[in-house]
């Protein structure tokens, strides 16, 4: 098949490289987001140029000249691997077999941009990814295929995406192509009665409320690690918390109950959080023991508002 690959960042690059590695299908063009001043060249763009593939970066897909150029490639299928620009039907329908899009959740659950953060934050034990037929609605098209993975009790956002979803999703790109080669790819409608939508997980969502249960606090920390990073106040200064563990113990929420060479222990409701790695404002990540030493934090101090 003649393929257009559309996407960006590490997943777009890996999807392109997987297709080129197999070597059966021809990638006739790569579309990625426009360059931004002061930012590194997108990894997908770099990979495409190194492979001698034409790269296009339109600001939108509404202009007739953009659509005419896409038609000129005579593509059979467009694979949308991590796409942030809106792509209207007029562009999606140009390839002979249409377009297929990746989303890192088990649709119709967790439509929206932070679809891995929220299941972890809410304590879910499973998630996965979907390849679906995109429509003008956000993540609303019929499903081509889905794969499920577990969310371990200590998994972070980084663990779930990079160790579980990312490698399996990259491998599945070839399965997607095979299904379209069959000329009868599956189409399973999404169950709208089970649909959920969540917007971006932003910094304002990642502030720790130490009065909440230790499970809720721990889930927030791991569900925002590495982005956007759970945070709290210490002496009026913001600090982001990354590596941590749950512990038993009672006390006053937000109180520092222990400081040692391995970190700092903070009380939540019904248990404690042993903090091991942090990022103070204006700094890189450092050990929690270095942080408390630098800031003079001691047992009895209070974190949070």
CATH of 2-194, one of 3.20.20.140, 3.30.70.360, 3.40.50.170, 3.30.565.10: 3.40.50.170
Torsion angle, CA of 53/59/62/63, rounded to 10 degrees? -80
Domain with CATH 3.40.50.170 in the chain: 2-194
Every domain range in the chain assigned CATH 3.10.25.10: 203-295
pLDDT in tens, 87-132: 999 999 999 999 999 999 999 999 999 999 999 999 999 999 999 9
pLDDT, average across residues 237-266: 96
What's 203-295's CATH class? alpha beta
Predicted pLDDT of residue 297 = 95
Query: Residue 256 class from Cβ within 10 Å (0-12 exposed, 13-18 middle, 19+ buried)?
Result: buried
How much of the chain exceeds pLDDT 70, in percent?
Answer: 100
Check residue 46 and give its pLDDT: 96
Pairing of strands 256-260, 263-268: antiparallel
pLDDT at site 305: 85
**What is the Cα–Cα distance from 147 to 131, expressed in whole angstroms?**
9
Rounded to an integer, the average pLDDT of 31-44 is 91
Number of H helices, E strands in the chain: 9, 15
The predicted pLDDT at position 69 comes to 97
Q: Which residue has the tokens 């050990």?
A: 287
Residue 183: the pLDDT is 81
């Amino acid at each position: 098949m003649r393929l257009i690959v559309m996407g960006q960042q590490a997943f777009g690059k890996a999807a392109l490289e997987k297709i080129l590695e197999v070597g059966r299908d021809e990638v006739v063009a790569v579309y990625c987001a426009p360059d931004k001043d002061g930012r590194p060249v997108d990894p997908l763009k770099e990979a495409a140029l190194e492979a001698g593939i034409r790269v296009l970066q339109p600001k939108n897909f509404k202009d007739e000249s953009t659509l005419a150029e896409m038609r000129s490639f005579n593509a059979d299928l467009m694979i949308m691997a991590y796409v942030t620009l809106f792509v209207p039907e007029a562009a999606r329908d140009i390839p002979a077999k249409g377009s297929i899009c990746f989303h890192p959740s088990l649709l119709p659950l967790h439509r929206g941009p932070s679809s891995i953060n929220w299941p972890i934050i809410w304590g879910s034990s499973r998630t996965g990814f979907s390849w679906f037929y995109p429509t003008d609605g956000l993540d609303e098209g019929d499903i081509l295929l889905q794969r499920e993975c577990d969310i371990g009790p200590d998994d972070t956002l980084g663990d779930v995406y990079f160790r579980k979803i990312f490698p399996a999703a990259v491998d599945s790109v070839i399965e997607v192509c095979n299904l379209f080669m069959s000329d009868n790819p599956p189409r399973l409608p999404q169950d709208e009665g089970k649909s959920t939508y969540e917007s971006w997980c932003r910094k304002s969502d990642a502030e720790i409320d130490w009065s909440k249960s230790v499970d809720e606090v721990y889930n927030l920390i791991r569900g925002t690690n590495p982005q956007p990073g759970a945070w709290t106040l210490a002496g009026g200064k913001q600090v982001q918390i990354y590596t941590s563990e749950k512990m038993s113990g009672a006390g006053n929420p937000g109180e520092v109950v222990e400081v040692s060479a391995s970190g700092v222990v903070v009380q939540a409701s019904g248990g404690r959080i042993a903090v091991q790695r942090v990022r103070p404002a204006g700094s890189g990540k450092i050990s929690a023991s270095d942080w408390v030493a630098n800031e003079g934090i001691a047992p009895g101090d209070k974190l949070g508002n």
